[in-house]
Amino acid sequence: MPLPERKLIERIKRAARAPSPALTRGIGDDCAVLRPPRGQELLVTTDFSLEGVHFRRDWHPPESAGHRCLARGLSDIAAMGGEPLAAFLSLALPADMPQRWVDRFVRGLLKLARQFEVPLAGGDVAQSPTGVLADILLVGSVPQGKALLRSGAKLGEAIYVTGALGASAAAIQQMRAGKKLRPTQNRAHFFPEPRIAAGRLLRHRRLASAAIDLSDGLSTDLSHICEESGFGAIVDAESVPVAKGATLELALHGGEDYELLFTAPPRTRVPEAIAGVRVTRIGEIIRGDRVFLSDRQGRRRPMPPRGWEHFR
């Protein structure tokens, strides 16, 4: 491998050096070696972060791009009620990439990794034909048979979300319109917080019957729960927690909120906040296979998935 790539590996290796009970052998061999905790199942998820698709160098400071890259994977682990064990980063960079950008990207990623005590255990580096290409892989664990699945929703169950929705999509809308945003004042978009603690509690207290993270937007992600569970859903427009600066439209169809969407039996007492994050009841699982939005007057209209298309 050419020298710049070896340098990058060495740099990440040094930066990532952190002890971890689950990691027997990290960067520096053909594979990383993990020792999974006893009685646990493993969770594996992988997510692209592609320049021009998931982030833009003129919009996102490198620390934000790195943070968001890891946050995508952590959020998937959160949605299963799991604990992150190790992260792996595949990173392809254009030949003329400034080293400073890469350093800051890795720093943003590792800062979030430290916050969740997840070691960066390996990955791959390559030269990219164009733009920054990152693929993040997360390995997590969950007690056997206890993972929160998309398929667990039952008829008549209530639908909940954590946090407020639409802030990330609102930020993109503003940047598209040419506005320069301050990352520190728009953390929901630039530095989203994966809901690991909330997912853990939902699983541990057996509150949720099904869960998914809101990465593609409420309308799309709820349709995944419905598909996998074999039901429909109705969402009460009035009760959707719209983030400050966002609209109902963005809260319903914008993506990258990285909040959790989950279902619970109607009589389950779901607290108003979980792990410090507000929880809001927004609807109900119904018969059929369609998702509806109901307005103040109780009128229903279909709400087909209008998936998040990133920056296209």
User: Rule CB under 8 A: which residues touch its own copies?
Assistant: 1-2, 6, 24-25, 28-36, 41-48, 50-54, 76-77, 79-80, 82, 86, 88, 90, 92, 121-124, 126-131, 133, 135, 137-140, 142, 144, 147, 149-151, 211-213, 216, 220, 228, 307-309, 312
Using the structure block, give the residue that is written with the tokens 């109607």. Answer: 266
Per the CB < 8 A criterion, the answer to whether 266 and 156 are in contact is yes
Q: How far apart are CA 29 and CA 82, in angstroms?
A: 27
Nearest distance in Å: CB 78, its own copies: 8
Nearest distance in Å: CB 138, its own copies: 8
Q: Which is nearer to its own copies, 87 or 175 (CB)?
A: 87
Of 40, 9, 271, the C-alpha closest to 141 is 40
Q: How far apart are CA 175 and CA 38, in angstroms?
A: 47
Structure tokens belonging to residue 252: 């319903």
Nearest distance in Å: CB 267, its own copies: 26
Nearest distance in Å: CB 122, its own copies: 7
Nearest distance in Å: CB 310, its own copies: 8
Q: Which is nearer to its own copies, 191 or 308 (CB)?
A: 308
Task: State the CB neighbour count (10 A cutoff) for residue 31.
Answer: 8
Per the CB < 8 A criterion, the answer to whether 130 and 173 are in contact is no
Residue type, 144: Q
Of 225, 214, 223, the C-alpha closest to 154 is 225
Using the structure block, give the residue that is written with the tokens 């569970």. Answer: 229
